[in-house]
Amino acid sequence: MNLYAESSAVLAWLLEEKAADQVRHALASAERLITSDLTLIECDRVLIRGVSLGRLSEAGAAECRAQLRAAAADWQVLRISPEIVERARQPFPAEPLRALDAIHLASALVARSAIAGLQLLSLDDRIRTAARRLGFQLQPA
């Protein structure tokens, strides 16, 4: 399975949230894992915010950062290219979408144009709805 990993799913895995086991299984099952610079940025920002608000210890955040860094070393990370920006600026089949969600969907579409059968791993309902309408198979199913 080829998989595009969106931030909500990666964060659930990192922070051991409710769906962490499902996400962990999907990540481990992927032959090729693609994500965006945006996923790494969003994950780091959530960890910084968690420490700043006292919801996460610095040691816990450091452990999460190390896990993310190790995992992402094996992932194909898409840069936010002009092609992705241009697609994100256009309407999607399930509006309204937030700007960062549009960047994720545009990134997944660009990746799918090069990787047949790319599935999308997300826990975000807005992204899942739009992705389904764009013809993506979703994980978790």
Tens-digit pLDDT profile for residues 108-121: 999 999 999 999 99
Count of positions (residues) in the chain: 141
Residue 20's pLDDT band, with cuts at 50, 70 and 90, is: very high
Between the alpha carbon of residue 62 and those of residues 29, 100, 113, the distances in Å are 26, 25, 35
Distance CA 28, CA 44 (A): 21
- pLDDT computed for residue 14 by the predictor: 96
- pLDDT computed for residue 141 by the predictor: 87
- pLDDT computed for residue 111 by the predictor: 98
| Domain boundaries 2-139, corresponding CATH code | 3.40.50.1010
* Helix and strand counts by DSSP (H, E) for the chain: 7, 5
* Partners of residue 36 on adjacent β-strands: 78
